[in-house]
Chain A
Amino acid sequence: GQQLNQSPQSMFIQEGEDVSMNCTSSSIFNTWLWYKQDPGEGPVLLIALYKAGELTSNGRLTAQFGITRKDSFLNISASIPSDVGIYFCAGLNYGGSQGNLIFGKGTKLSVKP
């Protein structure tokens, strides 16, 4: 089945640093979504992307829908402690057998000791 490779699996940040993560797939997607999950909570939508090449921002977060439609990137600028959590990418292929979201395994963001 379709799979998303999300990297890195985990990373440590210091306040003020910029953060980058990405998702790649061998399949084409029509929509890319980025979610954040805080400890003990459900995932919350951060950004939705609908067109190849689209670049969308939400505050300090910027996400891009790759030109090939097989990847997406999320950048966080000037990180703050509340950015800690797990970030998930999700792709949707309208023409797939289910038309359901496929989720990456997540990037866990932690604060450097």
Chain B
Amino acid sequence: NAGVTQTPKFRVLKTGQSMTLLCAQDMNHEYMYWYRQDPGMGLRLIHYSVGEGTTAKGEVPDGYNVSRLKKQNFLLGLESAAPSQTSVYFCASSYSRGLNIQYFGAGTRLSVL
């Protein structure tokens, strides 16, 4: 029962470095999401995808890019990391927008020094 798998689980970056976070789901879900979680802020939507080959901006998209080349994978990229991007990142997927029960991965803890 893999569900939603995120890699890596932890990462430390220096300011200006780039990295890609990988999210994989094995539930054949159409919709995938990337959130960031900061203390006292709850979950904020960065980008989302309604299907293979599509992406859209969420609430806080600046400084991030995403790609959905395969239905099961959703990648989140940081081209030039900044300390403000230190956060815990969660990926989620759902079957559809109407039945939008989202299933979450375990998270990636990112520190940018």
Q: Which residues of A contact B (CB under 8 A)?
A: 1, 6, 31, 33, 35, 40-45, 48, 88, 90, 92, 94, 98-101, 103-106
Contacts and interface: CB of A to CB of B under 8 A. Distances in A.
A92 B43 CA distance: 14
B107 A103 contact: no
A99 B100 contact: yes
B103 A45 contact: yes
Interface string B77-113: 0000000000000101000011011111111000000
- Chain B interface size band reads 20 to 34
Contacts of A101: 100, 102
Interface of B: 4, 33, 40-45, 48, 56, 58-59, 90, 92, 97-98, 100-107
Contacts of A44: 104
The residue among A43, A88, A94 with the most chain B CB atoms within 10 A of its own CB is A43
A12 to B, nearest CB: 18
A41 to B, nearest CB: 6
Given A99-B97, A100-B58, A100-B100, A41 B106 contact: yes
Contact of B90 (A43, A48, A104): A43
A67 to B, nearest CB: 22
B101 A43 contact: no
B36 to A, nearest CB: 12
Nearest to B102: A101
A16 B29 CA distance: 39
A108 B90 CA distance: 18
A1 B59 CA distance: 9
A19 to B, nearest CB: 19
